Structure 1
Amino acid sequence: MAILRILLLGLVLIGVASCGGNSKFKSYNGPEVTRLVVLKGERKLRLYHGRKVLEEYDIGLGFQPRGHKIYEGDGRTPEGHYYINRRNPNSKYHLSLGISYPDVNDVQVARATGRRPGGDIFIHGRGKFYERGRGSDWTAGCIAVTDREIEQIYAMVRDGTPITIYP
């Protein structure tokens, strides 16, 4: 009887150990994400494989959500065609994927106003620094999802994936 209990306990411990813990780094073996689309007006981020929507997320935007980002500090989320150009596994917003803003046109527009275009536009989670009650549009120009959602997006999306951000 004691041997049976020891074996049972061992199986339980093996089962618990195989659960994998709470790693923020997930794996993904589904269809390739071929593009991302942000619909600012609808507060949606869609991940596509070809014409098929693989996932859709509710998002938060910059604290000034209307209009294209013109200069650093304006609180707007850019609009246009970009691509995912980097990832930050140590983001203060849990995980983040960089967006290739600014492009050449963005730099010219900002300089015409006598300002810098800014940068560091990401799709990111909330992380430790998110404060409840800030509303849905709380970033400095980034695209925000929950921490659980950015874990999934981070696993699914590769560097170089195009992203189009619509008004």
Structure 2
Amino acid sequence: MGVLTAFVSGCASKFRTYSGPQVTQIRVYKSRRLLVLDGAEGVVRRFPMGLGFAPEGHKQFEGDGRTPEGSYVIDRRNPNSLFHLSIGISYPNEADIAYARAQGRSPGGDIFVHGGPRPGIDPTDKRDWTAGCIAVTDREIEDIYAMVNDGTPINIYA
């Protein structure tokens, strides 16, 4: 029985299906450490989250540890992420690039909503540990990955 249980649990997929209301936008409230998925009729789901290691202010440069603020879109997904699963945020936009270049710096990139650094780690227990990404638990990113389509707007507030 123990071998069968281990086999079955080892076959569980990180790829979930979702058949609920379409997610039409994502709202991220950095100061509240809250990610909200909205549909046409209102809030679909809420998730606690962690941020970059220097969460205050808008991301300006590569390595600053800040999470961007502003309006972006979900523009890609990574099923083979080092952080379980991840969905990409379209940072940097033209204004982000122009500002960083004017300072002679790189704006950085590769900003994602993702899971934990290893299976079994709850990133919300280690608040604000990313390099600028938005972190949720592995289970939560599985749900978000299934619920959110590429092209979905994401608005990130202070």
TM-score w.r.t. the length of structure 1 is: 0.85
The corresponding residue for 1:138 is 129
SS state of the match for residue 96, structure 2?
A: helix
Aligned length: 152
1:120 aligns with 2:110: yes
**CA RMSD, aligned part only?**
2.3
**Is 1:31 aligned to 2:21, yes or no?**
yes
Q: 1:50 aligns with which of 40, 45, 59?
A: 40
Tell me the distance in 1 between the aligned counterparts of 2:39 and 2:123: 33
Hey, which bits of structure 1, 4+ residues long, moved more than 6 A?
A: 131-134
Q: Pick closer, same or farther for the CA change 1:20–1:156 going to 2, 3 Å.
A: farther
SS at match of 1:160: coil
Deviation by residue 1:25-78 (Cα, 9 ceiling, x = unmatched): 000001100000000000000000025110000000000000000000000000
- 1:105 and 1:94 map into 2 onto residues whose CA distance is 30
- Percentage identity across aligned positions? 59
Displacement of 1:134 after TM fit?
7.6
Equivalent residue, structure 2, for 1:147? 138
Residue 112 of structure 1: CA displacement? 1.5
CA distance in 2 between counterparts of 1:76 and 1:164 reads: 15
Match of 2:96 in 1: 106
Q: 2 CA distance for matches of 1:132 and 1:156?
A: 20
| Ranges in structure 1 where 5+ consecutive residues have no aligned partner | 1-12
Deviation of 1:133 after TM superposition, in Å, equals: 10
Distance in 2, matches of 1:47 and 1:32, equals 9
Q: Which amino acid aligns with 2:40?
A: G
| Counterpart position of 1:75 | 65
- Match for 2:152: what amino acid? T
**Secondary structure at the counterpart of residue 155 of structure 2:** strand
Deviation at 1:128, TM superposition (A): 1.6
Return 5+ residue gaps in structure 2 as ranges.
Answer: none
Residue in structure 2 matching 1:162, options 136, 153, 157: 153
What is the alpha-carbon distance in structure 2 between the residues aligned to residue 158 and residue 127 of structure 1? 23
For 1:87-124, what per-residue CA distance to the aligned partner results, in whole angstroms no more than 9, with x for missing partners?
00000000000000000000011112110000000000
CA distance in 2, matches of 1:82, 1:124: 16
One-letter code of the match for 1:148?
A: R
